[in-house]
Structures are given as C-alpha cells and as structure tokens.
Amino acid sequence: MLKVGIIGVGTVGSSVCQILEANKDIITARAGVEITPVSGVVHNLSKKRDVSIKLTDNVDDILNDDSIDIVVELMGGVEQPYEVVKKALQKGKAVVTANKALLAYHRYDLQDIAGDTAFEFEAAVAGGIPIINALRDGLSANHIESIKGIMNGTCNYMLTRMINDGVEYEDILKESQELGYAEADPTFDVGGFDAAHKLLILASIAYGIDAKPEDILIEGIENINSDDIAFAKEFDYSLKLLAIAKTNEDEVELRVHPVLIPNSEMISKIDGVMNGVSVIGDKVGETMYYGPGAGGDATASAVIANIIDIARSGKSTPMLGFNKPLESGLKLANIDNMVTKYYLRLEVEDKSGVLAKVATILGDKNISIKTMVQKASKTNSVNLLLSTHSCKELDIKNALKELKNAGVVNSEPTMIRIEE
C-alpha cells in the first residue's frame, strides 16, 4: 500500500480524496498498488468537508510521519509551500503539487533539491490537460517553435460570459469564484499572473529559460469593457487572455495579455472554463490540447495521474525534463521590438480637430489606422475604437504616451494586441 498525505484539503484536495475512493479499483489496477490517502492538513479544523481522512492543522504531522510515502501539496501560496515541499523532499518523500505560483519562483531550486526523488506537477498547468506530459515526454524530440495557450479558466469563463451573455465584469468574477475556478486571491487570475506562472513552467520545459514573472510582459483583463466586446463582435474577433512563447532566431518572447483573435482560428473556439494549448514543434508541426483547466475533479485527475506514475516507477523523469538548465542558447526577447497589430480605445473630447490630432500622432510614429468606430461615452466625450496595421510595440507605447501628454485623451487609453 502507498500512503499519501495531503497538505491542503480544499477544492482540489477534497476531490483528490473523493476520486481515490470512488475510482479505487481502476486506480489500483493501473498503479499496481493500493493508494490510500491517510491524512490531510487544513487551516480551519472546524470547517465541514466531504472527506473521510484524518485531518490536522499541523503540517509536521505529515512531514514527520515515516509511513507516508507521497506528500501532495495543495495549499497554495509560494514561500510556505516551498518550505513544506523542501522538507518533504529532504525526508525522501515523493511530492506532487498543483501549485504553479510555487514553481514560477522555485522550480529550478526544487529540481536540485529533489534530485532522484520524484517531484511531479502535471496539474499546475492547464488543470486536467496532460500538457506537461506532452511537452516533457511526447514532444521531447522537437525544438519547440511556439506555445500559445488559454491557460486560465477563470478569465476564459469571464470573457466568454461577457461576450456571449453580456454579463458585467464584477458579477461574473463572483460567479467564477463560487464555481471554484478562481484562485484564493482572484487578482492572480484576472491580472494574468496565474497564466504567466503556467507559461514560465512550460517555457522551462521547452527552452530551459530561467525567468521569473517580473521578467515578462503580463497584462490582465481588468480593463476590458463592453465597448471592447462590441468592437470584437463587429469585426469578427474573439477576445481571449493568451499566454504566448514564441522563438525568433536566438530569442524567445514570453508574454501574457488579452488578445483579439479572428473567429476563424481554432483557439478562438475555446470557451468557458476550458483551456486550450497549441504547441508547434519543428518536426511534429502543430499539436493542440484541449480540456478543463480548473475545478476540483479535473485538477485532481491530473494530481492522481502523477501519484499513479510515481507508484509505478518510484521515481520521476528529471522534473523539468533535463538534468541541468537546458542550454538552448535562447535569451528573453525585448517585447518593445515585437511587431503586431493593435486595437486602441481612446476616450476623447467630441469636438473638431481631435480626430486629426490622433491621426497625426499615430502617423508620426508610422502607425497606420485600419478601422475606426466612434461610440458615445460620457457627456462631451466619445470613445474612439481603432485597429492598426502591423507596427512596433515601442511605437504604439510612445504614441499612447504622446496622446496623454498632449491632453488628447481624457482617460488612460486601452490597448489590446491583435494576433492574426
């Protein structure tokens, strides 16, 4: 029998306990050994929960229990789980985690600490989709040219409901929290950080890049409003929060931000809490992965797959797929040099000469306007909704700065990149 201690018996931890019980026969058959969750750690012992394991509020009860073979970390956070996981590995216990925030900051030192001890994290990226397995094992013969994914279920759920049902931002955020999709602090979701954590994990496996969230472009969906949604609909775009890794010669762009994508693209069809990831390998071409990216059971499915893997072999492949940071020679690209198309929302005075000023400032930076719509806003003010032809990121940023400095816009402009 393999004994499991679960640190954090919340949304995911409870599902892990329930599925280990409900699917015991098939799990035992696949693992070749019975897997039993013996105890769990929670913060609040008086909270009612639907699990039958012994609960404690002291992590050491699990870490010091020599009969426990595998520690499953499902408490969330960064530094506290880091200490817990480190201790578990130092005691020779295998570890499984779903915690992407932990790995965004500590994946390389944890890989060193783990050494030959199994450390698995399939659920940390795209919940129930086996994307770590695909990238680390299935595609390991390839140079990875790009990874493009919808990796935050909460944002995708919110954007889908805003587009399809016209629901307001605040109402829909509350709903996704109630459904168990959102992080304990939902700013991780809507601010793009959760997707960035996942992108960094995938970029380590694909490129051996040792970047932190602070090193890459991260923008969330907080400023998206009904005008942006109306523009997307009018011009046949879908609005998604994308996490993108793209190589170009000796550089790799890593970025997370809202994107307008033509409705003809496959990834635009991924709606609701579903996640979808496209990976292009130099030999295999494009591969697509689709499935539930959040929620207790879907995430627990990936956690238990890792436990079964450990039960079968006793050790994992090197945690990030190679023993040392991969010497791919790729360095992080400066996003200011990126060239793409842009959508802009500018709140301006409704009077003569304003449009000319906007066109002049954009024109001076070689930014060519492709489409333009004017929408009524507050009294005396209108929203100009523009899309541009391809131009450089730095030119757009400078143009927006100049529009503000020249007093042409009445509020902070909104800029959304278009991926075509």
Q: In the range 111-140, which residues lie near ligand HSE by CB under 6 A?
A: 127
Question: What six digits make up the tokens of 141?
Answer: 């013969």
Name the minimum Å distance from CB 74 to ligand NDP.
4
Per the listing, tokens 């001076």 go with: 364
Interface pick for ligand HSE out of 149, 153, 208, 291 (rule CB under 6 A): 153
What positions carry a catalytic annotation?
198
- DSSP strand pairing (119-120 vs 217-218): unpaired
Partner interacting with residue 44 (select from ligand NDP, ligand HSE, none; CB below 5-8 Å by kind): ligand NDP
**Residue 75, interface with ligand NDP (CB under 6 A)?**
yes
Name the minimum Å distance from CB 402 to ligand NDP.
40
Partner interacting with residue 152 (select from ligand NDP, ligand HSE, none; CB below 5-8 Å by kind): ligand HSE
CB atoms near residue 332 (< 10 Å)? 16
**Residue 73, interface with ligand HSE (CB under 6 A)?**
no
Interface pick for ligand HSE out of 111, 133, 152, 306 (rule CB under 6 A): 152
Q: In the range 189-218, which residues lie near ligand HSE by CB under 6 A?
A: 189, 194
- Pick the stretch among 16-24, 177-185, 332-340, 341-349 that binds ligand HSE (CB under 6 A): 177-185
Per the listing, tokens 């450089």 go with: 392
Partner interacting with residue 11 (select from ligand NDP, ligand HSE, none; CB below 5-8 Å by kind): ligand NDP
CB atoms near residue 97 (< 10 Å)? 28
User: For residue 347, how far is the Cα from the chain centroid?
Assistant: 31
- Pick the stretch among 67-75, 152-160, 199-207, 237-245 that binds ligand HSE (CB under 6 A): 152-160
Backbone torsions φ then ψ of 138, nearest 5 degrees: -60, -35
- Pick the stretch among 36-44, 178-186, 302-310, 371-379 that binds ligand HSE (CB under 6 A): 178-186
- Pick the stretch among 18-26, 150-158, 322-330, 391-399 that binds ligand HSE (CB under 6 A): 150-158
User: What DSSP string describes 128-151?
Assistant: TS-HHHIIIIITTTS-EEEEEEE-
Per the listing, tokens 């995708």 go with: 156
Residue type, 170: E
Query: Which is closer to ligand HSE, CB of 154 or CB of 388?
Result: 154
**Residue 306, interface with ligand HSE (CB under 6 A)?**
no
Query: Which is closer to ligand NDP, CB of 102 or CB of 114?
Result: 102
For 169, the 3-state DSSP assignment is helix
CB 348 within 8 A of CB 411: no
Residues near 185 by beta carbon (within 8 Å), at least 6 away in sequence: none
**Residue 99, interface with ligand NDP (CB under 6 A)?**
yes
What stretches of 1-143 show up as alpha helix (H) in DSSP?
A: 11-22, 24-31, 60-63, 79-90, 100-114, 131-133
Rounded Cα–Cα distance for residues 319 and 115 (Å):
9
Query: Which is closer to ligand HSE, CB of 281 or CB of 292?
Result: 292
Task: Characterise 397 by phi-psi region: left (phi > 0), alpha (psi -120 to 50), beta (else).
Answer: alpha
Per rule CB under 6 A, count of chain residues that contact ligand NDP: 28
E strand or H helix that includes residue 362: helix 354-364
Query: Which is closer to ligand NDP, CB of 19 or CB of 400?
Result: 19
CB 397 within 8 A of CB 209: no
Interface pick for ligand NDP out of 294, 361, 367, 386 (rule CB under 6 A): 294
Query: Which is closer to ligand HSE, CB of 127 or CB of 321?
Result: 127
Interface pick for ligand NDP out of 68, 98, 206, 348 (rule CB under 6 A): 98
Per the listing, tokens 């049902």 go with: 165
Interface pick for ligand HSE out of 5, 281, 293, 321 (rule CB under 6 A): 293
Per the listing, tokens 């391809």 go with: 390
Name the minimum Å distance from CB 396 to ligand HSE.
29
Q: Give me the count of residues in the chain.
A: 420
**Residue 127, interface with ligand NDP (CB under 6 A)?**
yes
Question: What six digits make up the tokens of 205?
Answer: 């496996």
For 188, the 3-state DSSP assignment is helix
| DSSP category for residue 368 | P
Instruction: Please report, as ranges, the residues that interact with ligand NDP according to CB under 6 A.
Output: 8-13, 41-44, 47, 57, 74-76, 80, 98-100, 123, 127, 180-181, 183-184, 294-295, 299
Instruction: Please report, as ranges, the residues that interact with ligand HSE according to CB under 6 A.
Output: 127, 152-154, 181-183, 189, 194, 293-294
